Amino acid sequence: MNASPTPAPARRRLVLIDGSSYLYRAFHALPPLSNEAGEPTGALFGVVNMLRATLNEKPDYVAFVVDAPGPTFRDEMYPQYKANRPPMPDDLRAQVQPMCEIVEALGITILRVPGVEADDVIGTLALRAARDGIDVTISTGDKDFAQLVRSGGDGGGGIALVNTMSGSRLDSEASVVEKFGVPPGRVVDLLALMGDAIDNIPGVDKCGPKTAAKWLNEYGSLDGVIAHADAVKGKIGDNLRAALPRLPLNRALVTINTEVALEQGPADLALRERHVEALRALYARYGFKQALRELDGGAAADAPAAAGDGRVSMRGTEAGHARGAAKPLDGLDPALAAPGEYETVLTREQLEAWVARLRQAGAFAFDTETDGLDPLQARLVGVSLAAEPGRAAYLPLGHDYPGAPAQLDLDAALAALRPLFADPGLRKIGQHGKFDLHVLRRHGVEVAGYADDTMLESFVYNATATRHDMDSLAKRYLGYDTVKYEQVAGKGAKQIAFSQVALEDATRYAAEDADVTLRLHRALGPKLAAEPALERVYREIEMPLVQVLERVEANGVMIDAEELRRQSADLNKRMLAAQQKATELAGRSFNLDSPKQVCALLYEELKLPALVKTPTGQPSANEEALEAIAELHELPRVILEYRGLAKLRSTYTDKLPEMINPHTGRVHTSYHQAGAATGRLASNDPNLQNIPIRTDDGRRIRQAFVAPPGRRIVSCDYSQIELRIMAHLSEDEGLLRAFESGADIHRATAAEVFGKAMDQVSANERRAAKAINFGLMYGMGAFGLARNLGIGRGEAQDYIALYFSRYPGVRDFMERTRQQARERGYVETVFGRRLYLENIHARNAGLRAGAERAAINAPMQGTAADIIKRAMVSIDAWLAERRERALMVLQVHDELVFEADADFVDELIAQATARMAAAAELRVPLVIDSGVGDNWDQAH
C-alpha cells in the first residue's frame, strides 16, 4: 500500500492448499479419465495441474492440507455434521495415495492433523503467517474461507483466497464485500443463515446469499438479525423464526478455528527441492504428458529479462504486477476498474438519448457485432457504443431467435447513427477498427474521425507482446477478465451465430466490448503520450494507415480463376507422374507429403545418410537434406520435384480461386497491422505477400493476377531499400558513396571486397557479395554464409572480415545496435518505432544470439516498413479524388501494386514513385523501380 522510494524486499509468500477440496472438485469437474493401465486419473490430473500452476508462482512456503480420519470437535458439537455425505467413491479413493506421492515429490509438505479438520489447520497457519508478515494465499474451492480474507499492510501479511479451477480470487475486504455483500468478519453470519447442504447444516429455508446479506446489512450482525427476527415479514420471516434456535450452533460450525495447537509453524513449510526422477516416474505412469514435458524442458525457461538502466520496460512492469500484489494493476485509475452498467437499446427514445450523449461526449468507443468473421461478407447484427467508462449500450439490429424482442429497424437506426460516424470532429475509438470500418461501410455508414485504435496503441507501445486482441489487452492493462465469445455463443459444433444469441447475453458481451475499448484507450493513451516518439509513430503512421488499408482490402485484386484452374490441372498431371516414379523407385507406395514417412524410407529402408537434422535433432527431410543425398539415389530428386508441384497447387493454384469473394469477384486479403513486431504488415486470408516469383513454375501464378479490360497492373517497388537504410544508419562512407553513384550495389560491394574494378567483377563474385549484403542484414555469421555459398567456413569468415575492413561503418553500426539493445532493452527505427528484445540478456546463449540478430535486423526492416506505410498514406490521399482511375490493390513489404486505367498509368507512376521516394529523407536517395502489364508477372 504505502509506496516507499526504494523497492521493498519482496514479501515472503505462503500457499495453503485445501487438498480435500481440490480432490473432490477435480473429481467431479473432470471427465473420468484413466491411464493406459486403466487406473482412474481424472481428479489426479486436475490436482496436478493446480499444483503446477501454484508452484509457477514461486511461493516460499507451501502446505498441502488434508483431513485426517477420525472425529473432530465439530462432530462432537453436532453429531449430524457431514452425515449426509456419501462415502468416497472408489475411483476417487484410488487416487489419494498417488496424489500424496506427487505432492511429496514436488517438495510440498503434507499436513494431516488427527482430530483437527483441514479447514482449521489452514485457518490457524494462515493467521499465524499473516501475523508474521507473510502474505498468505489459500487455494481452495470452499467459499467458507472468505471469512479469513484480509488485505496486507502495517507489517502484517494479507490473506487471499484463490480458486484455481474457476480462476476467481478474493484478496481484499472489498473483494469479499463485492462477492458476498458482507465483509469477511460477517461471512460466518452469512453462512449460518444460508446453511450448507454439503456439510448437512440446515440454514434458514429459502434464505440464500442475497437475503442473508440484506438482513446482515440491515441489522448489523447475526445477533442483530436474531434480535429483530420478529420484524421480518412474510413466509421467509416465519422460516427465519423457525430456524432461530439453531443459528448460534450453525455459526460455531462454520467458523474456522484459527487457534489450533499445531506442531508446525509457517517456517516449517519451506518448499523443498523437487524429486525429479520420482516425478518423472509418476507423471509417466499416469500419462501426464504436458507435465512431463515441463519437467524435461521447463527448467530452461528464463525469467524475462528486465531492461537495464532503470528504464521502464513494459515487460518489466508486467512482471511486477503479476507477482500477486493485492491490487493486480497498481496505479490504474479506479474508474477504469469499476464494474460496468450496460443497456440494451430497443426504442427510438433510448437511441436518441444515446446519440445525444455520444455527441455531447465529443468522443466515443464503438464496436460492431456481425454474423461472421469475414468483414467483407458479414452482416451487421448490432452496434455497441460507450462514451464513459462503465456505461455502454448495445443496439441490437438483427437478432433473430424464437422469442427475440422487437428491435429497432436496421436502416432507421443506422440513419440515426450516420451523422455521428460521418462527423470528423467527433472522435471515434475502436479496437481493431478496420474490421468495423468495413462492416459499417458495407452497410452504408462512412466513418470519418477514426481517431484511436487500442490494438495499435498496444502495438506501438510494445510490439513484442504478441497478442493485441481485446481480451489480452484487458487482462494486461486493466487486470480485467472479459466475457469471452464462447461464453455467450458456445464453441465448436455447438457455436451459434451472434444473431441467435439472447439479447441479455449479447448485451453483456457486446456492450462490454465498447466499454473495455474505451477503458483501454484511457489506460493506454497516457502511456503512449508519455513517449513522444512512440506517440508520433502511432499518430502519424499507424492511425492514418487504418483507412488506407481498409480501402486496399476492399478494392481487392482480380484473379483469373480459369488460368489457375489450368495450372492446377497441369501441376496435378506432373504430380501424379512424380508419384508413380517415386513408388517405382521406392518399391512400395508411401505418402510423399509426410516428412516422417519420407525419413523412414530414405534413412531406414534405403540406408541413405541423414546429413541434416531438424531443430529438434531428428533427421530432416527438407530440401537441403534431400539435395545432399540426391547424388546417391534418384528418389530424393523425385520427392523434391513432387514437393515443389504440390506446394504450388495446394497453397496457390487450388487455394486462390476458392478465395474469390462471390459479391465482388475479386480476392480480398486482410492486412494485419499489428502482425509483425518490426512494424511490417502481415497478409492473410489469403496471404498475398508470398506469391512465388523465384522459379518459372511459381512465377506463372502471378500471371493470374490481372486487371479488368481497359486497365493495367502497375507495380512500384523500392530498390534495395533495407540496404539503403543500412547505409543511412551506419553512415559508412563507402556504402553511402556506392548508393550515391547509383551503381549496382552488389557489384559495387564485390568490387570493394575483391579489390577489382566494377566491370571486372565475375558473376560468382557478385553472387557472393549479394549473399554477404543480405546475410549481414539478418545478422548472419560465417557458418551461415558458408552454407549459403557452399564454401568453407574459413573462406566465409575471410569474406566477412574483408567486408568489414572495407565498410568499417557497418561494423560499428552493428556493434552500436547490439549495445543499445543491451543497455536499453530495445532498438528503434529512424522514425522512433521501438522493438523490445525480450531475450537480449537471456542466460541461454542461443536465445541471446537470436535476440542480437533480431536487434540488428529490426531497425532496417522496421524503417523500411515505416517508409512504405507513409508512402501508402500519401498515395492514398492523392488517389482520393481519382478512385475511378486507379486503385491500390496490394502491398508486399517493399512493393505497391495498383490497378489503373490504361491511359492513367503514366500519371500514376509519376505520382506513386515521387511519393514513395519522398516518404523519407535519408542520407541516400530512395530509388523506385516500376513496371506495367496486363498481369502482375508482366508488371515486374
Kindly state the smallest distance separating residue 670's Cβ from DNA, in Å. 8
Side-chain half-sphere of 246: how many Cα atoms within 13 Å? 21
640 with 656: CB under 8 angstroms? no
Restricting to residues 30-69, name those near DNA by CB under 7 A: 31, 33, 45
Contact flag: residue 347 with DNA (CB under 7 A) = no
Closer residue to DNA in complex, CB, 209/781: 781
704 with 559: CB under 8 angstroms? yes
Full DSSP string of 705-721: EE--TTEEEEEEEESSH
Kindly state the smallest distance separating residue 875's Cβ from DNA, in Å. 17
According to CB under 7 A, which one of 594, 661, 760, 762 is a site residue for DNA? 594
Closer residue to DNA in complex, CB, 56/264: 56
Contact flag: residue 850 with DNA (CB under 7 A) = yes
328 with 844: CB under 8 angstroms? no
Restricting to residues 448-507, name those near DNA by CB under 7 A: 491-493
Contact flag: residue 617 with DNA (CB under 7 A) = yes
Contact flag: residue 698 with DNA (CB under 7 A) = yes
Q: Which stretch binds DNA (CB under 7 A): 170-178, 262-270, 810-818, 848-856?
A: 848-856
Kindly state the smallest distance separating residue 372's Cβ from DNA, in Å. 16
According to CB under 7 A, which one of 6, 97, 360, 616 is a site residue for DNA? 616
Restricting to residues 854-893, name those near DNA by CB under 7 A: 854, 857-858, 861, 892-893
Closer residue to DNA in complex, CB, 742/846: 846
Residue 879 gets which letter from DSSP? H
704 with 562: CB under 8 angstroms? no
552 with 671: CB under 8 angstroms? yes
Q: Who contacts 137 (Cβ-Cβ below 8 Å, separation ≥6)?
A: 13, 14, 15, 16, 59, 159, 160, 161, 162, 324
Full DSSP string of 783-818: HHHHHHHT--HHHHHHHHHHHHHH-HHHHHHHHHHH
Contact flag: residue 374 with DNA (CB under 7 A) = no
- Tell me the C-alpha distance between 724 and 738, whole Å: 10
Q: Which stretch binds DNA (CB under 7 A): 16-24, 746-754, 775-783, 877-885?
A: 775-783
- Tell me the C-alpha distance between 2 and 87, whole Å: 50
589's grid cell: 507406395
489 with 506: CB under 8 angstroms? no
Size of the site for DNA (CB under 7 A): 80
- Tell me the C-alpha distance between 874 and 913, whole Å: 11
Closer residue to DNA in complex, CB, 7/790: 790
According to CB under 7 A, which one of 593, 733, 815, 823 is a site residue for DNA? 593
Kindly state the smallest distance separating residue 783's Cβ from DNA, in Å. 4
Based on the number of CB atoms within 10 Å of its own CB, is 815 exposed (0-12), middle (13-18) or buried (19 or more)? Answer: exposed
In the block, which residue shows the cell 475479386?
A: 666
Contact flag: residue 719 with DNA (CB under 7 A) = no
Contact flag: residue 287 with DNA (CB under 7 A) = yes
Contact flag: residue 927 with DNA (CB under 7 A) = no
Q: Which stretch binds DNA (CB under 7 A): 56-64, 66-74, 545-553, 844-852?
A: 844-852
CB burial of 653-674 (b: ≥16 within 10 Å; e: otherwise) equals bbebbebbeeeeebbbbbbbbb
- Tell me the C-alpha distance between 681 and 674, whole Å: 7
Closer residue to DNA in complex, CB, 6/616: 616
Contact flag: residue 763 with DNA (CB under 7 A) = no
According to CB under 7 A, which one of 266, 396, 779, 825 is a site residue for DNA? 779
Q: Which stretch binds DNA (CB under 7 A): 311-319, 430-438, 512-520, 610-618?
A: 610-618
Kindly state the smallest distance separating residue 627's Cβ from DNA, in Å. 9
CB burial of 369-407 (b: ≥16 within 10 Å; e: otherwise) equals bbeeeebbbbbbbbbbbbbebbbbbbbbbbbeeeebeeb
Contact flag: residue 825 with DNA (CB under 7 A) = no
Contact flag: residue 625 with DNA (CB under 7 A) = yes
Kindly state the smallest distance separating residue 922's Cβ from DNA, in Å. 17
Q: Which stretch binds DNA (CB under 7 A): 87-95, 263-271, 539-547, 782-790?
A: 782-790
Closer residue to DNA in complex, CB, 394/642: 642
Contact flag: residue 853 with DNA (CB under 7 A) = yes
Q: Which stretch binds DNA (CB under 7 A): 161-169, 283-291, 740-748, 870-878?
A: 283-291
Contact flag: residue 788 with DNA (CB under 7 A) = yes
Kindly state the smallest distance separating residue 853's Cβ from DNA, in Å. 4
User: Sign (positive/negative) of CA torsion 555, 557, 560, 565?
Assistant: negative
Contact flag: residue 165 with DNA (CB under 7 A) = no
Q: Which stretch binds DNA (CB under 7 A): 343-351, 546-554, 778-786, 913-921?
A: 778-786
Q: Who contacts 130 (Cβ-Cβ below 8 Å, separation ≥6)?
A: 136, 150, 152, 156, 157, 158, 159
Kindly state the smallest distance separating residue 429's Cβ from DNA, in Å. 24
Contact flag: residue 304 with DNA (CB under 7 A) = no
- Tell me the C-alpha distance between 556 and 705, whole Å: 11
According to CB under 7 A, which one of 261, 406, 763, 845 is a site residue for DNA? 845
Kindly state the smallest distance separating residue 30's Cβ from DNA, in Å. 7
Distances in Å between the alpha carbon of 172 and those of 175, 189, 640, 932?
5, 19, 63, 68
Closer residue to DNA in complex, CB, 137/462: 462
Q: Who contacts 629 (Cβ-Cβ below 8 Å, separation ≥6)?
A: 602, 608, 609, 611, 636
- Tell me the C-alpha distance between 722 and 725, whole Å: 5
Contact flag: residue 651 with DNA (CB under 7 A) = yes
- Tell me the C-alpha distance between 882 and 894, whole Å: 23
Contact flag: residue 682 with DNA (CB under 7 A) = yes
Instruction: Assign 3-class secondary structure to 223-272.
Output: HHHHHCHHHCCHHHHHHHHHHHHHHHHHHHHHCCCCCCCCCCCHHHHECC
Q: Which stretch binds DNA (CB under 7 A): 346-354, 453-461, 691-699, 760-768?
A: 691-699
According to CB under 7 A, which one of 220, 224, 692, 832 is a site residue for DNA? 692
Restricting to residues 553-592, name those near DNA by CB under 7 A: 591
Kindly state the smallest distance separating residue 460's Cβ from DNA, in Å. 14
According to CB under 7 A, which one of 23, 148, 279, 621 is a site residue for DNA? 621
Closer residue to DNA in complex, CB, 304/390: 304
Contact flag: residue 931 with DNA (CB under 7 A) = no
Contact flag: residue 618 with DNA (CB under 7 A) = yes
Contact flag: residue 814 with DNA (CB under 7 A) = no
510: nearest Cα among 349, 361, 412, 370: 370
User: Angle CA(23)–CA(26)–CA(27) in degrees, nearest 5?
Assistant: 80
Closer residue to DNA in complex, CB, 516/897: 897
Site string for DNA, 401-440 (x = CB under 7 A): ----------------------------------------
User: Helix axis angle, 454-461 relative to 503-529, nearest 10°?
Assistant: 40
Distances in Å between the alpha carbon of 736 and those of 239, 725, 726, 730, 732?
91, 10, 9, 9, 6
934 with 706: CB under 8 angstroms? yes
Contact flag: residue 787 with DNA (CB under 7 A) = yes
Full DSSP string of 78-108: -TTTTTTPPPPPHHHHHHHHHHHHHHHHTTP
Restricting to residues 211-230, name those near DNA by CB under 7 A: none
Kindly state the smallest distance separating residue 837's Cβ from DNA, in Å. 9
- Tell me the C-alpha distance between 329 and 480, whole Å: 10
CB atoms within 10 A of CB 153: 11
Restricting to residues 140-159, name those near DNA by CB under 7 A: none
Kindly state the smallest distance separating residue 457's Cβ from DNA, in Å. 18
